[in-house]
Structure 1
């Protein structure tokens, strides 16, 4: 998840806060939550740090969009609070002996918000739409190329979308043909891009589809109401036509866009807020509170270098210098102070283990780029000589929230202090604008992030292949491309060999100084113990609301 831009993608990219919820004639049930005694309606207010960029599953690329897609829709499977895949719109599936044909049984009691049955045809339509170049989906090709039969050819405009290896054998039987055996395919079926769509409804909306509550059709636990693409507030309302509606305990969840974390902390202290993410300046103040928790996460923040932007960033030694010229330990210990750890590679700590040894991937791959002022200056001097300059001016793009501001200001200061002749200009914009600038390649350096879309190194490592829609920085290495390609083709059934390829590829990525890792995030929070069903596992999105409840 750009999360996963990310995704991922939590404590910096988003701040979720549970605020006081009021209903007419309500009686206080717990701090920050109220329940209407007469109607038994449960309602909670949350704070989101930004508006929702898009509710079109094919066009979503960020955690906020995927969060609300997850709340209002569902895939074949869903990730539960324990981080395990559980049946959602599929009841079960079978896999052929060669691993290439997957047959899913669609539950016959699943309905759209308007009462239409959810069928296998809804998946076929949505997946074809996401791989169709005319749609402009970034995640469609990212998830399906080299995985689902003919996807790569279709995304390259060489075949028609109706040739995609997915078909409805009947209304409740979905058959998927893979290009190669794919160890993580079951995980993909829970991801937002592969959620079904009601073709008749989507085509009736035309260009207005997914631009407002009136042009959306829910299949998941909640319906999105009072929302447009520019809204600063909206609500999730329980979807009574959801197949598992009995599990959903919340009747309404209200969201307001609020950017200031101090405001949320103040509301928590007042007893009107149930959950708040804490920025570093608040952690020390609240770390002794009984409600204080830290939750490790698998989002990795890094600097992307646009090698097409100028001659300086096209130079490997300049990039290598920048990668080593800022103190990451100071960032996590002094600025963040929330349990985040310095990142010295791309694949996060505690994410996946090597198949045979069961050692953590990060430990095996090792620290590939660390803070080293002396080496940074050696690379810098060499790079300046190669480009024939003694001064360089660069722009650093980032999101405009306060927490990110502290980080980019620190990084910029470190770079200017440790690399003589470098001037860094900070450009902070709303996240949606940053993503647009990234997609257009209209940036020089960018603080980006990624959280996993599925539990496999491929979700991180495939970002930087030459043809990846997430590359957007002019990076290309044929050996890297080949190693990653092999993990989903010739080595698809040999997991140990696949992981060895990932280790080799990650080393190439940092030998090339393609990106500069910063940190792997964690969430420091104050959580009211009366709030139940709150995700607290590193691989589970903080925005999974299906199991949310309020209990004394």
Structure 2
């Protein structure tokens, strides 16, 4: 089916969705978006794309969990408007000459929401818990392995947890020993996995910890109210116990889950919400609207190809064909239509500069895999011949939001149309279910998106090491592994050499056709002038609300 014909069907589908959405009760969709006008409160009303799967810092792996952990908790440092670490629970630190030991001085006026002081032991307990094998954390071993001394050995059960390189010299002095010098370690401490935990409270809650508002403690700018793990509505409420509460100008930020962009825009036009995502079919209509905003993002979408799930996907030529067989430019221009750009590599554009020249990493690495039907079909024919078949059936897993379903259908259609003998079946599921299927490697093809966890190429490149916690697709290349390991060890203090390793490793990744990059994300939104002082982080929590304020609508 040609692109224009396919788009006509998409537009018809969107009209039907819009008619359905308009028949939904406002009370059912958004009965918690109080403006605060009658109470004197300063209130903002936002949409969330789905429920929050978990609020346990040791267990969170998704953007929503990290967003609300970032809003309600605080680690050693916090990112400011320029993505620079500023004072959090730590007020300063010293680094040893060899770069392996960090000594943090903690503030003495930080409290948990129950009034307990935040101490160095809270960090020791939380970091140990994140890598303890019994915890079952994905991100603990992933983020701390090869960084915090003995993290890998502790997680493997080879050494006692007390040998993890984190200790409390006293209540307000935290000492961290690193496995290797880590140039980006200071920014790591702002990330959700590194948040402190109140040991007594966590252990009192047991299995119920972090399953509801009542089983959580907070030490950040806001508390999370009216939340359970299945809630479709919840609130961020100013935390009066926060050490810097005077800086926090917003009293409440209401959230409600709405996946349908048409409904979001309708609620925005009615003044019920202060920020709405714009789907592709609505962009042209709102392009000249005074509240229209396009915010570039550093998240990259790609197709994961599970090499253990289907014999065809274990074939390099089949994977190479799939990665070249869909028109990414048409996808970003006509389907997404929100400022997203084509991705022809993994590390995003405008993310990190080369340490020697200052050139953007993406520009230096170049386009590593592009849309090319003729080339795709050559790889496809080779792969079919090697497999001894003339047809292949694959299942494509993706999210079930409105925009995701349209994009997924487009990609499935392109693959089936451009690769003779290929049949692609769609499986659209809720966000949390997709994460579970990914973790269990229960998929064949999956549309995934990775947002960076810290300001370094390693946050993307480390994903694909053999048996890595986020690999989950059976990819393995010993040369790739060696380059990433060397970058984190022998070359840890030589940024120029580290980046050369990353450039070489990225090329290997696409020579192996391990993944198929799709686009680098951007957000097209309507944002009310009431929303002031909110900025977008390049990694970690998407939005920072500590410095937010409520402005005039005029």
- Cα pair 2:36 2:43 within 8 Å, conserved: yes
SS in 1 for 2:83: coil
- The change in CA–CA distance for 1:549 and 1:300 in structure 2 (over 3 A counts) is same
Which residue does the alignment assign to 1:175?
Answer: 175
- Cα pair 1:47 1:258 within 8 Å, conserved: yes
Residue 456 of structure 1 deviates from its aligned partner by 0.1
Distance 2:172 2:86 in 1: 18
Residue 530 of structure 1 deviates from its aligned partner by 2.6
SS in 2 for 1:283: helix
- Cα pair 2:454 2:540 within 8 Å, conserved: no
Which residue does the alignment assign to 1:65?
Answer: 65
Which residue does the alignment assign to 2:121?
Answer: 121
In structure 2, stretches of 5+ residues that fail to align are 1-28
Equivalent residue for 1:35, pick from 11, 33, 37: 37
Matches within 5 A, 1:396-435: 396-435=396-435
Distance 1:121 1:537 in 2: 28
Residue 548 of structure 1 deviates from its aligned partner by 1.7
Which residue does the alignment assign to 2:151?
Answer: 151
Distance 2:31 2:356 in 1: 49
Which residue does the alignment assign to 2:439?
Answer: 439
SS in 1 for 2:312: coil
Distance 2:473 2:525 in 1: 34
Structure 2 residue 336 is matched with structure 1 residue 340: no
SS in 2 for 1:426: strand
User: Structure 1 segments of 4 or more deviating over 6 A?
Assistant: 18-22
SS in 1 for 2:234: strand
- Cα pair 2:192 2:540 within 8 Å, conserved: no
Residue 333 of structure 1 deviates from its aligned partner by 0.5
Matches within 5 A, 1:307-322: 307-322=307-322
Which residue does the alignment assign to 1:532?
Answer: 532
Distance 1:53 1:274 in 2: 24
Distance 2:543 2:303 in 1: 25
Matches within 5 A, 1:351-430: 351-430=351-430
Distance 1:538 1:126 in 2: 25
What is the root-mean-square deviation in Å for CA atoms of aligned residues? 1.4
- Cα pair 1:19 1:44 within 8 Å, conserved: no
Distance 2:33 2:179 in 1: 52
Distance 2:58 2:417 in 1: 43
Matches within 5 A, 1:259-270: 259-270=259-270
| Number of equivalences | 524
Deviations 1:386-406 (A, max 9, x none): 011000000000010010111
User: TM-score, normalization: structure 2?
Assistant: 0.93
Which residue does the alignment assign to 2:505?
Answer: 505
Distance 1:72 1:364 in 2: 38
Residue 320 of structure 1 deviates from its aligned partner by 0.2
Distance 2:460 2:258 in 1: 30
Distance 2:288 2:31 in 1: 23
Deviations 1:64-114 (A, max 9, x none): 001111111111001122322111110011101110000001110000001
- Cα pair 1:19 1:275 within 8 Å, conserved: no
Which residue does the alignment assign to 1:11?
Answer: none
Identify which range, 74-83 or 462-471, moves more after superposition: 74-83
Distance 2:269 2:551 in 1: 20
Residue 270 of structure 1 deviates from its aligned partner by 2.5
Residue 536 of structure 1 deviates from its aligned partner by 4.6
Residue 225 of structure 1 deviates from its aligned partner by 1.4
- Cα pair 2:120 2:174 within 8 Å, conserved: yes
Distance 2:314 2:537 in 1: 39
Which residue does the alignment assign to 2:328?
Answer: 328
Matches within 5 A, 1:2-21: none
- Cα pair 2:33 2:255 within 8 Å, conserved: no
Residue 469 of structure 1 deviates from its aligned partner by 0.5
Distance 1:241 1:443 in 2: 45
Which residue does the alignment assign to 1:243?
Answer: 243
Matches within 5 A, 1:45-84: 45-84=45-84
Distance 1:238 1:85 in 2: 22
Distance 1:120 1:333 in 2: 50
- Cα pair 2:351 2:455 within 8 Å, conserved: yes
- The change in CA–CA distance for 1:205 and 1:393 in structure 2 (over 3 A counts) is same
Distance 1:242 1:450 in 2: 31
Distance 2:159 2:489 in 1: 20
Distance 1:268 1:436 in 2: 32
Distance 1:325 1:417 in 2: 9
Residue 475 of structure 1 deviates from its aligned partner by 0.4
Deviations 1:458-505 (A, max 9, x none): 000000000310000000000000100111100000000000000000
Distance 2:150 2:94 in 1: 21
In structure 1, stretches of 5+ residues that fail to align are 1-17, 24-32
Residue 19 of structure 1 deviates from its aligned partner by 7.9
Residue 271 of structure 1 deviates from its aligned partner by 3.2
Distance 2:125 2:539 in 1: 29
Which residue does the alignment assign to 2:200?
Answer: 200
Distance 2:362 2:460 in 1: 13
Deviations 1:425-444 (A, max 9, x none): 00000010000001001000
Which residue does the alignment assign to 1:452?
Answer: 452
Which residue does the alignment assign to 2:209?
Answer: 209
Distance 1:324 1:237 in 2: 47
Distance 1:522 1:19 in 2: 26
Residue 43 of structure 1 deviates from its aligned partner by 1.9
Residue 549 of structure 1 deviates from its aligned partner by 1.2
User: TM-score, normalization: structure 1?
Assistant: 0.93
Residue 276 of structure 1 deviates from its aligned partner by 1.2
Which residue does the alignment assign to 2:23?
Answer: none
Distance 1:540 1:150 in 2: 24
Distance 2:30 2:229 in 1: 23
- Cα pair 1:19 1:274 within 8 Å, conserved: no
- Cα pair 1:304 1:446 within 8 Å, conserved: yes
- The change in CA–CA distance for 1:514 and 1:22 in structure 2 (over 3 A counts) is closer
Residue 40 of structure 1 deviates from its aligned partner by 2.9
SS in 2 for 1:67: helix
